[in-house]
Structure formats: structure tokens, C-alpha cells
């Protein structure tokens, strides 16, 4: 035990202890005798690189997985968690990064799905459900009607409903997995306010995030996993970002945004007067040059992703033209975009980029079949060589390229998406939130790869909600607000405050 943890242990008895927990899957030891302690009314940040074992450990705690060995104690007493319902009955709830909601049901129905309130005659007591739902929404300060359908809610509002559902189980411990990955800054502050209120009520929170700045804003302690082993637990106020990162990756990382200089050439892609059919995008014009990294900044909903979807042929344009190497490009579909040498890593890897039930190999080679085929037949040797090269280049953690991609961690899934487009050797690469949900070590690898591609003459367009990333990796920065381009900055000397001021005005 780290000496900086002693103060807390002498004041409180643990709420929960996991002792010597191990878990193996075919070809990989996910957890190796891990110890984890959570105290009443604390926010414990759980961090580690993708594949370090964070999700596996929490799935054991929430009853999704069964541990191979080890012991779990609640209030000092050994417990057996034989399924998610058992975990919930013990006061343990988990809110996943991919929210578990039913969009065609209303809020009250979502809160009590599978455990509906019933009258003596056996009929569902809808009035009681809505009364109880109203109380729960008031607790999380969500001023919506309980009759509102979930498909009308924003991601942040859906997340608040998930928190309310956790409270409906009288949760004593709530696990939050990357809860701010799709939230605006305002929505993040709202979530942090709720976490503080939960902590004040004595509810404990295990907070999983790759965003270092959040850990120092919200957590009391930080526990670090690496390669399936617990490395250390630190009192947040007594540690530094560098110390946490070093524990995560097993080495010091001096410069996260390691952008190498590249020769910037001629304009490769130009968009002129792009507008969308729903009139949200208005008169978007910009260009990007060979070897240039062009950053797009703005708040969630500013229209950044919509512009790129229009350019890549996913969404139709109302007006506007696209030029590739000075010639007008007829892009009406993604097939057309591929033909012009454009690659697109979308924001939502699971919904838009991966076929989860296919293997790592098949996902990676999907956009480059013409490069690994002879006529109608795939050259399996050539395909394997291509895939193995990118697995090594991006350090994808997988027991085999034949592993089903849904079994990889989120960060390694993201690496597979990037590798898929890299395998197609695009001359123009659009990256929409390329490092979302990726650990700090993997971020550095992605940034290094971006620099290398730029040095090879690839024109890169990067959307990112992380302003340090935008500033650190971009040669130019375009700022959007409500479907329009508000302005542009050169990389040199721009501050986060200047970008944010333009993004909100």
C-alpha cells in the first residue's frame, strides 16, 4: 500500500475490497491478482492504458464476468456476485460508455424496465412509476417530463437517466466508464455536480477516464492498472499528472503532442460553399494541403462531423462543390470518396466503423481488398502481411488477428479503425475524434503516426474536442459554430481561450 493512502484508511473502513482477483480469456491473462479498495463516499479514479484490465475488473464487480480466483468483500463481509441483478441488489451499479437505454420507451419505462411497478390486480401501475421517476429525475436535476421518449434526449440527458436508474437501486457504489466522452463542457460540469452530490450523500463512485484533467477535478484517489496488474493507488491531491502517466505506461512521456515538421505542398482538397439539405451547414469553404494537418475545433453540435460526412459522401449536400487536386470531384457516395483517395475515421467506431462480429484481420483489410486480392479471390498471405504490419505499427493489443473485434478494448478497437484506413493508403485522411477513449500512451502513438503521414505528403483533417490536441497537432485551426465557419487560426501562438471564445460567439 502506498504511504499516501494511509490517511484515508485510518479514517474509514472500506466499503468494498477486491483481493487477489484474476481473470483469463483464451490467449490472454486479463487480470493477475488485482487488489482494489473503495471507501464510502469517495470518488476513485481507475486509470490505465487500453487493455490494462479496467473494464474486465469492473465487469467482474458488476456481475457480467466471473473471476477465476480472488475474493470480494462488501462492508468487510465476503460476497458472491453471480450476475448483474445480484450486483444491483447489493447496491453496485455500472453506467457504460455505450449507454444502455431503450430509445422507443419513455423515461419512466426506461428507469423501471424489467422491474415494473404493478397493482394488486397484476396490471402495471404507470402512475406510481411516473411518480417515482419524477423523484429520481429531481435528484439528478433533470427537468424533463417522465413521459418523454428517450430518442428525444441528448447523450448527456440519457446519461443522467442512467444515473437516476442507478439511484433507483439504492446504489452505494456507482461505476462510470468514460462518462464524459460525448459530453460538452457544460454537460460535463453538470455531471461533476451530480457526482459531488452523490459523494456528499455517502455514495462511492469508481470513475474510469483517459482525460487526466478530469481526474484532478473529480477524484479523491487514483488507482493505476497496467498489463492486468495493480501498480499503485495514490491520493489525487498528492500526485501529479506525470506520475500517473508514468505508472500507466511504465515510462515517462515528456511530450504528448510530438508533431514533427512536414513540408506543406499544394492544395489537395478544397470544399466550396458546402450547405446541407436540412440547412444546418451554411456556406462551408476551406482547403487542406499535402503534408498539412488541419484541425477543426468547436463545441459538440457545431457541425464539424456533418461537414466531413458531406465531403465523404455519407450525407447529401444541398449546395457546394468538392475539388481534389484542382479538379472537381463527383462525390455522391463513400465509394466515390474512396476512388478519390479519401479515408474517413468516424466519431462512433462501433456504430459507423467496425463490424463487431468480424475478426481484427477482416476489419482491417475491409477497405483495402483490392490491395490484397487477385481478381475475385483474396490473397490470404498478402492480407495477413498487411494486417500484421499495422498491428505492430499501432501496437494493437490482441491475442491474435483472428480475435473477434468486439472482444477488444475500446482503444484497441479505435486502432483497428485507423489501421483499416491506413491500409488503403489514402492521400486525404479525415480523423473525427481519433483519440477519443484512447489512453495516453496510445494517443502518443497516434500522434506520431499522424506526423509520419503528414511527412509522407498525406493531407490530414482532424476533428477534436480536446483543445490541447487541436493546438498541439494542427498546422491551422478552423473554428465552427452552429453550422458555420467562424474563423481560422495559425497554429503558432493560439491559446485555448481564443479558440473557445470564437467557438461560443
Express each pLDDT in 198-241 by its tens digit: 899 899 999 998 788 889 999 999 999 988 999 999 999 999 98
Domain boundary (124, 153, 169) is at: 169
| Residue 95 to residue 98: CA distance in whole angstroms | 8
458 lies in the same domain as 329: yes
Q: Strand, helix or coil at 268?
A: strand
Domain boundary (120, 140, 169) is at: 169
Q: Which residue has the higher pLDDT, 450 or 368?
A: 450
Flag whether pLDDT at 320 surpasses 70: yes
Lowest mean pLDDT among 21-30, 214-223, 325-334: 21-30
Per the CB < 8 A criterion, the answer to whether 15 and 38 are in contact is: yes
Flag whether pLDDT at 352 surpasses 80: no
Segment 323-349 mean pLDDT: 91
| Residue 348 to residue 394: CA distance in whole angstroms | 19
Flag whether pLDDT at 21 surpasses 90: yes
Exposure on the CB side of residue 61, measured as CA atoms within 13 A:
30
Lowest mean pLDDT among 11-15, 137-141, 440-444: 440-444
188 lies in the same domain as 79: yes
Q: Is residue 443 part of a domain?
A: no
Segment 368-386 mean pLDDT: 80
458 lies in the same domain as 497: yes
Q: Is residue 488 part of a domain?
A: yes
Number of domains in the chain: 4
181 lies in the same domain as 236: yes
233 lies in the same domain as 376: no
Q: Is residue 445 part of a domain?
A: no
Flag whether pLDDT at 34 surpasses 90: yes
Cα–Cα nearest to 207, from 189, 192, 219, 199: 219
Flag whether pLDDT at 310 surpasses 70: yes
Count of C-beta atoms within a 10 Å radius of residue 241: 13
Residue-wise pLDDT for 42-88, tens only, equals 999 999 877 788 989 999 999 999 999 999 999 999 999 999 989 98
434 lies in the same domain as 335: yes
Q: Is residue 143 part of a domain?
A: yes
Q: Is residue 372 part of a domain?
A: yes
Flag whether pLDDT at 99 surpasses 80: no
Percent of the chain exceeding pLDDT 90 equals 42
Lowest mean pLDDT among 127-131, 311-315, 428-432, 489-493: 489-493
196 lies in the same domain as 227: yes
234 lies in the same domain as 277: no
Q: Is residue 400 part of a domain?
A: yes
Flag whether pLDDT at 155 surpasses 60: yes
Q: Is residue 444 part of a domain?
A: no
Q: Is residue 257 part of a domain?
A: no
| Residue 226 to residue 210: CA distance in whole angstroms | 14
Flag whether pLDDT at 416 surpasses 50: yes
Q: How confident is the model at residue 2 (pLDDT cuts 50, 70, 90)?
A: very low
Q: Which residue has the higher pLDDT, 349 or 93?
A: 93
Flag whether pLDDT at 392 surpasses 90: no
Flag whether pLDDT at 4 surpasses 60: no
What CATH number does the domain containing 496 carry? Answer: 3.40.50.300
Q: What was the pLDDT predicted at 6?
A: 44
Flag whether pLDDT at 254 surpasses 60: no
Cα–Cα nearest to 155, from 132, 186, 193: 186
Segment 241-260 mean pLDDT: 75
Percent of the chain exceeding pLDDT 70 equals 95
Per the CB < 8 A criterion, the answer to whether 488 and 477 are in contact is: yes
Residue-wise pLDDT for 156-180, tens only, equals 788 888 888 888 888 899 999 888 8
C-alpha cell at 37: 479498495
40 lies in the same domain as 189: yes
Cα–Cα nearest to 30, from 11, 55, 3, 61: 55
Domain residues for the domain of 503 are: 262-341+426-438+450-505
382 lies in the same domain as 242: no
Q: What was the pLDDT predicted at 253?
A: 57
| Residue 135 to residue 125: CA distance in whole angstroms | 16
Lowest mean pLDDT among 37-41, 386-390, 442-446: 442-446
Q: What was the pLDDT predicted at 182?
A: 67
87 lies in the same domain as 133: no
Domain boundary (169, 187, 213) is at: 169
Lowest mean pLDDT among 264-268, 367-371, 483-487: 367-371
Flag whether pLDDT at 266 surpasses 90: yes
Residue 498, phi then psi, degrees to nearest 5: -65, -40
What is the average pLDDT score of the chain?
87
421 lies in the same domain as 498: no
Amino acid at each position: 500500500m502506498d504511504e499516501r493512502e494511509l490517511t484515508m484508511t485510518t479514517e474509514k473502513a472500506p466499503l468494498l475490497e477486491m483481493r487477489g482477483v484474476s481473470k483469463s480469456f483464451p490467449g490472454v491473462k486479463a487480470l493477475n491478482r488485482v487488489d482494489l479498495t473503495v471507501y464510502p463516499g469517495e470518488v476513485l479514479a481507475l486509470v490505465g492504458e487500453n487493455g490494462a484490465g479496467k473494464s474486465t475488473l469492473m465487469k467482474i464487480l458488476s456481475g457480467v464476468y466471473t473471476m477465476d480466483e480472488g475474493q470480494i468483500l462488501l462492508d468487510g463481509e465476503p460476497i458472491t456476485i453471480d450476475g448483474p441483478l445480484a450486483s444491483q441488489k447489493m447496491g453496485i451499479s455500472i453506467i457504460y460508455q455505450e449507454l444502455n437505454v431503450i430509445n422507443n420507451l419513455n423515461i419512466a419505462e426506461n428507469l423501471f424496465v424489467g422491474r415494473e411497478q404493478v397493482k394488486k390486480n397484476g396490471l402495471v401501475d404507470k402512475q406510481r412509476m411516473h411518480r417515482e421517476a419524477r423523484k429520481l429525475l429531481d435528484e439528478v436535476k433533470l427537468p424533463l417530463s417522465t413521459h418523454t421518449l428517450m430518442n428525444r434526449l441528448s447523450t448527456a440527458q440519457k446519461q443522467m437517466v442512467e444515473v437516476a436508474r442507478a439511484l433507483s437501486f439504492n446504489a452505494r457504489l456507482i461505476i462510470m466508464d468514460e462518462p464524459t466522452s460525448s459530453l460538452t463542457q457544460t454537460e460535463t460540469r453538470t455531471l461533476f455536480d451530480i457526482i459531488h452530490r452523490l459523494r456528499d450523500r455517502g455514495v462511492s463512485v469508481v470513475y474510469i477516464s483517459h482525460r487526466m484533467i478530469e481526474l484532478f477535478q473529480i477524484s479523491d484517489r487514483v488507482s493505476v492498472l497496467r498489463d492486468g496488474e495493480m501498480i499503485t493507488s495514490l491520493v489525487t491531491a498528492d500526485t501529479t499528472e506525470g506520475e500517473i502517466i508514468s505508472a500507466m505506461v511504465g515510462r515517462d512521456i515528456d511530450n504528448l503532442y510530438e508533431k514533427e515538421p512536414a513540408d506543406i505542398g499544394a492544395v489537395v482538397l478544397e470544399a466550396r460553399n458546402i450547405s446541407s439539405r436540412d440547412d444546418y451547414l451554411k456556406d462551408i469553404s476551406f482547403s487542406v494541403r499535402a503534408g498539412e494537418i488541419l484541425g477543426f475545433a468547436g463545441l459538440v453540435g457545431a457541425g464539424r462531423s456533418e461537414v466531413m460526412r458531406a465531403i465523404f459522401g455519407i450525407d447529401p449536400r444541398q449546395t457546394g462543390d468538392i475539388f481534389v487536386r484542382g479538379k472537381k470531384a463527383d462525390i455522391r457516395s463513400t465509394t466515390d470518396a474512396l476512388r478519390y483517395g479519401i479515408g474517413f475515421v468516424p466519431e462512433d467506431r462501433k456504430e459507423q466503423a467496425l463490424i463487431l462480429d468480424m475478426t481484427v484481420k477482416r476489419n482491417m483489410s475491409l477497405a483495402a481488398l483490392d490491395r490484397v486480392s487477385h481478381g475475385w479471390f483474396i490473397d490470404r498471405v498478402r492480407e495477413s502481411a498487411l494486417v500484421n504490419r499495422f498491428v505492430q505499427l499501432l501496437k494493437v493489443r490482441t491475442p491474435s488477428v483472428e480475435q473477434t473485434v468486439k472482444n477488444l478494448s475500446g482503444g484497441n478497437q479505435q486502432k483497428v479503425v485507423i489501421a483499416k484506413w491506413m491500409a488503403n493508403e489514402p492521400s486525404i485522411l479525415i480523423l473525427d475524434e481519433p483519440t477519443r477513449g484512447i489512453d495516453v500512451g496510445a494517443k502518443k502513438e497516434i500522434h506520431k503516426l499522424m506526423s509520419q503521414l503528414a511527412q509522407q505528403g498525406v493531407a490530414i483533417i482532424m476533428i477534436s474536442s480536446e483543445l490541447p490536441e487541436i493546438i498541439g497537432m494542427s498546422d491551422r485551426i478552423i473554428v465552427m459554430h452552429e453550422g458555420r465557419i467562424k474563423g481560422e487560426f495559425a497554429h503558432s501562438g493560439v491559446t485555448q481561450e481564443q479558440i473557445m471564445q470564437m467557438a461560443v460567439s
